[in-house]
Amino acid sequence: MTDQQQLRAAFSTFLTGVTVVTTSASDGTPVGFTANSFTSVSLDPPLLLVCLSNTLNCLEAFEQAQHFAVNILSSSQQDVSNTFAAYDGDRFEKASHRTGNNGCPLLNDCCAWFECKIHQRVDAGDHTIYIGKILDYQYEESDPLGYSRQGYFSLQHEQMARQLHASSPDVVTGYLIEVDDCLVVRKQGDQCTLPEALAGNALEQLHLELQDGKINHSTGMLYSMFQFGDRGSHAVYYRCRAKTAPIDLTNNLHCLPIAELPIENFETKPVRSMLARFQREHATGSYGIYHGTETAGNVTPVSDENTQAYRS
Ligand SMILES: Cc1cc2nc3c(=O)[nH]c(=O)nc-3n(C[C@H](O)[C@H](O)[C@H](O)COP(=O)(O)O)c2cc1C
């Protein structure tokens, strides 16, 4: 990794929401781009800021504008984020919108929007900080879209998993721990299982074991949540990444290449289907969250690490 990529990776550990920043070009054309550099600044006067890369195609429109808007995306708007980060055609044709009182394009179905007058532009390295004085705003109760480590996530799913852990003692917690292109698997003879345990002592033991192996699984994102039909019990699996080194595998824990996982050697059918999905998703870098039963459910795409336009 180059120094810039390292710095970008370090910045990306900061968990943010996702916004689309919009303005109207001098000929009235709506322009906008995806931004997670949004920060609230001041209540009195009401100020916010966003950082605009000096390489943005739409920079000229912002330089000439007197107003801009910040639209905070909801968890159902991952496609809107991708459109405003990467689509070269008319982005507004793909996202329903209206015009605010101050002439800025406002996207529909957002968690919140703020229409601002440009208060100050501050040169800051390869970005320009736009500080806006809020003239008008509105917010809804909807679930916001989250972003961390170059992947999207939704708190709604995380909250569902947390409620499940709180309400039922009979929940298996498991981890898909990626180490480069390998997965941490417990292997006894041919029989394979994921690092997983029932809530309580066994789970604490597993966490200690992973800690001993210097496997940092604490930043995991929800990957699959399902009910075992026959027993009414649940399983929740998290996907996480461990650094290559130091990793010290003991107690039958092995790193197996994801592309060659011996899926048929895992005992239960839902885990086998989960691993088959994981293998496919790992190959494309586009992950989803499964929620359902052993046999039927939905996969919601929540992380698309390939559509990263914000990588230099
Ligand atoms: C989640 C996410 C956050 C981003 N945050 C910013 C940002 O804060 N500032 C910025 O200038 N670009 C950011 N980008 C990149 C722009 O959205 C991207 O470069 C966009 O295509 C620019 O539009 P343009 O065609 O006008 O250059 C982000 C992209 C993503 C996916």
| pLDDT tens string 123-171 | 999 999 999 999 999 999 888 999 987 788 887 777 778 888 788 778 8
pLDDT per residue over 216-256, tens digit each?
766 578 899 988 766 678 899 998 888 765 676 777 888 89
Residue 173 beta carbon below 6 angstroms from any ligand 1 atom: no
Residue 53 beta carbon below 6 angstroms from any ligand 1 atom: yes
- Please identify which residue in the block is written with the tokens 């690490």: 305
Stretch 58-78: mean pLDDT: 96
Q: Domains in the chain, ordered, with CATH?
A: 3-147 (2.30.110.10), 153-304 (3.90.79.10)
The span from the CA of 281 to the CA of 239, in Å, is 12
- How confident is the model at residue 152, as a pLDDT? 83
Answer whether residue 185 shows pLDDT above 50.
yes
The span from the CA of 270 to the CA of 203, in Å, is 20
Ligand 1 pocket: which of 13, 16, 33, 311 to mutate (most atoms within 8 A of CB): 33
- How confident is the model at residue 230, as a pLDDT? 63
Given the CA of residue 87, which atom of ligand 1 is nearest to it? 21
Contacts of 208 (CB under 8 A, 6+ apart): none
- How confident is the model at residue 144, as a pLDDT? 93
For residue 241, give both structure tokens. 């990444």
Percent of the chain, pLDDT > 90?
56
Tally of CA atoms within 13 A in the half-sphere of 228 that contains its CB:
13
pLDDT per residue over 43-61, tens digit each?
999 999 999 999 999 999 9
The widest CA-to-CA distance across the chain, in whole angstroms, is: 70
Answer whether residue 306 shows pLDDT above 50.
no
